Copies of this chain bind each other. A is one copy, B any other.
Amino acid sequence: MTRTHLPTTVALRVVVSLAQHGTVSSAAQALHLTQSAVSKQLKSIEELAGMCLFTRTSRGLAPTEAGVIYIEQARLALGALETAAVRLAGLRSSQPTIRLHVLPILGDRWFMPRFSRFAELHPRIDIQFTTFAPSDTLEEADAVFRFGDGTWPGWDANYVLGRDVVLASSPHLIARNGGLNAADDVRNFPVLDHLQTPLRWSDFGAACGFSDFRPPRVIRFGYYALVIRAAISGQGLALVPRSLILDELASGQLVNPLGLGFSSKNGYWLTTPASRPLHADLAILRDWILSEARQSEGRV
């Protein structure tokens, strides 16, 4: 008889974060835990599941068939919990809470690190975050980060950042591959692609005037964090919104020697339901976000 032991909620977050980040260490960082803690959580949930959820590769972890199933359900479970929290926040009429839906990569790499400053500036404003909430509950949110070209019927959209897409590579990869001295050299490099935003490389090729751009190898990933990680470890060239890799560019982990890149039609936007009037606190938050974004992208 199977003991009806349930996983912990942090184990669920661990599993999801592992899938997104591909290594125990970076998942841990995203969760504000140590590598040790995450490793143990992973072990315990795999024991509970009775099978491996991730295969250990030399570069990190990749979900197994079972892992894919588990991750999917873990997201659903976390989404339900977020939905509950959001709806309760909606009931609390006395102290209005801003319900903000964030996207994984944008939240991890740009928004959350900066948000603590906002929280200090405006300790009175209460914000409820969601990231796993199912898409049919998004209209309950007061503001939603989205990726696209800015047209979402029924929503007012403010451009945040992300249209400034740059080529990024590990310096070692460039050295190993005979250098990157002209745009045309890009053709000799393997490239990293993101399954959900697949047009990046053809857009880039067009911007560079390549008539026919066929990289020697394309490696695809399901999460942008994996693309960035793979770029850092020298697996190929990546195209990434500059604002998401400011730290890596500054530290030299990633470089863009020729300053290649292009201006994308798509970027990250902050959207608010057009039907609802904008609450004063929400306007403050929005303006702060837009101002931070201008700073990150160097638009004065």
Q: A6-B10, A9-B9 are in contact. Are A50 and B1 (CB under 8 A)?
A: no
Complex: chain B residue closest to A128, CB-CB:
B2
A67 CB, nearest partner CB in chain B, Å: 10
CA distance A76 to B74 in the complex (A): 11
- Dominant SS among interface residues on chain A: helix
Question: Could you say which of A80-88, A224-232, A272-280 contacts chain B?
Answer: A80-88
> Which A residues are closer than 8 A to B by beta carbons?
1-2, 4, 6-10, 12-13, 49-51, 65-66, 69-70, 72-74, 76-78, 80-81, 83-85, 87-89, 91-92, 97, 115, 119, 123, 125-129
Q: Is the CB of A88 within 8 A of B51?
A: yes
Given contacts A7-B81, A8-B8, A8-B9, contact A2 B127 (CB under 8 A): yes
Q: What's the minimum C-beta distance from A170 to chain B, rounded to whole angstroms? A: 33
Q: Are B49 and A1 in contact (CB under 8 A)?
A: no
Given contacts A7-B9, A77-B77, 13 further A-B contacts (CB under 8 A): A1-B127, A2-B128, A6-B9, A7-B81, A8-B8, A12-B81, A49-B88, A51-B88, A69-B84, A69-B91, A74-B84, A76-B76, A77-B80
Residue of B nearest to A48 (CB): B85
* Chain B residue at minimal CB-CB distance from A125: B1
Name the B residues within 8 Å of A8 (CB-CB): 8-9
